[in-house]
Amino acid sequence: MGVLEPNIKLRKAERLWENELVGPESIVNIGDVLFTGTADGKIIKIEDGEIQTIARIGHGPCGTREDEPMCGRPLGIRVGPNNTLFVADAYYGLYEVNPGTGEIKMLVSTKTLIEGQKLSFLNDLSVTRDGRKIYFTDSSSKWQRRDYLFLIMEATDDGRLLEYDMVTKEVKVLMVGLRFPNGVQLSPAEDFVLVQETTMARIRRYYVSGLMKGGADMFVENMPGLPDNIRLSSSGGYWVAMSAVRPNPGFSLLDFLSEKPWIKRMIFKLLSQETVMKFVPKYSLVVELSETGSYRRSFHDPNGVIVAYVSEAHEHNGYLYLGSFQSPFICRLNLQHV
């Protein structure tokens, strides 16, 4: 166990802007100004503690599962070289957003078939330092974001890693057959991209330059939880956020279901996602990986007492800002306190 030994370090985090925003999935900063996308389809900025909407890709009404495709759901967000924002909206596509004016520009529309397949669930993205290439994930061509639990339970393997070229405007498919590819992160040297394969509790590595270019291997396998987003850490490694752990050894609903498709089909028919979600124990876990994929340290909040439904850990200025796909707050953890 060692580094992954359960603790309560994540409970040292403080909740910020509680009930002023919902589902800040992914977080970036430009200087001390934070930007995030929320569950009501907005891209917001937080400056001097004040929340302001800068853009939205979809339109209302928002709030129910039925509304989501229209409302839009900004997930991964990144800062490009000229302090422009790049946003992956689960339903609409890949966008560039001017954080000053709020002007939005579509780069890739989900209406466009890529190599004959739909983009049904755009998720995360990572941008090269020169802003030329964007690597992004489409979690499934079958299931949408609002059905993410079904995607996990069915273990659908139709997710892809793609590359968008800002100059040629071309989209290339780099990897296929992924089971819920989620967070994406370029290595510091930009020689490979890491892709979190949520359902499989592992991280794949795809080489984008050098001798291995076009090749792929496993970076980390058999992780203690289901990985969501991945971001660089100041030590040259990576922060990985997980909102569900795999009780190992022991009984896990997800591991159990993956072997019994007939039970899954029955559950689909009988239960809503919300109900199924109640069976998934709340547990927040953030791990830091070294540049080679070994575990450096881990911060836990068993039962999600303070930090719930964590989706991302974004490091800025000695703090981890913790995003969430459904909590009504951002958490901030002082790294000197843990």
| Domain assignment present for 311 | no
Q: Which pLDDT belongs to residue 270?
A: 75
Task: Tell me which residue range forms the domain holding 235.
Answer: 24-252
CA pair distance 331, 11, nearest whole angstrom? 10
Angle at 107 between CA 20 and CA 123, to 5 degrees: 50
Average pLDDT value over all residues in the chain? 92
| Domain assignment present for 101 | yes
CA pair distance 192, 214, nearest whole angstrom? 9
| Domain assignment present for 62 | yes
User: Residue 253 pLDDT more than 70?
Assistant: no
Q: Which pLDDT belongs to residue 271?
A: 74
User: Is 206 in contact with 172 (CB distance < 8 Å)?
Assistant: no
Measured in degrees and rounded to the nearest 5, phi and psi for residue 273 equal -60, -40
How many helices (H) does the chain have, and how many strands (E)? 5, 24
What is the Rg, in whole angstroms, of the alpha carbon atoms belonging to the chain? 18
User: Residue 267 pLDDT more than 90?
Assistant: no
Question: Given 3-state DSSP classes, what are the helix, strand and coil percentages for the chain, each rounded to the nearest 5?
Answer: 15, 45, 40
| Domain assignment present for 265 | no
- pLDDT band at 278, cuts 50/70/90? confident
The amino acid occupying position 188 is P
pLDDT tens-digit profile of 150-189? 777 777 889 999 999 999 999 999 999 999 999 999 999 9
CA pair distance 75, 323, nearest whole angstrom? 10
| Domain assignment present for 263 | no
Query: Which among 173, 301, 186, 200 has a CA at the least distance from the CA of 238?
Result: 186
Q: Which pLDDT belongs to residue 142?
A: 85
Q: What is the pTM of this model?
A: 0.94
Cis, peptide link before residue 249, omega less than 30° from 0: yes
Instruction: Name the DSSP class of 264.
Output: H
Question: Which residues make Cβ contacts (< 8 Å) with residue 21, sequence separation at least 6?
Answer: 36, 38, 44, 51, 328, 329, 330
Find the mean pLDDT for residues 244-258.
64
Share of the chain above pLDDT 70, in %: 96
CA pair distance 232, 23, nearest whole angstrom? 21
| Domain assignment present for 193 | yes
pLDDT tens-digit profile of 65-80? 899 999 999 999 999 9
User: Is 43 in contact with 97 (CB distance < 8 Å)?
Assistant: yes
Q: Which pLDDT belongs to residue 152?
A: 74
Instruction: State the total domains in the chain.
Output: 1
With 0-12 / 13-18 / 19 or more C-beta atoms within 10 angstroms meaning exposed / middle / buried, residue 5 is exposed
| CATH code for the domain of 216 | 2.120.10.30
pLDDT tens-digit profile of 88-142? 999 999 999 999 999 999 999 999 999 999 999 999 999 999 999 999 999 988 8
| Domain assignment present for 312 | no
| Domain assignment present for 16 | no
User: Residue 25 pLDDT more than 90?
Assistant: yes
Among the ranges given (155-159, 198-202, 272-276), the one the predictor scored with the smallest mean pLDDT: 272-276
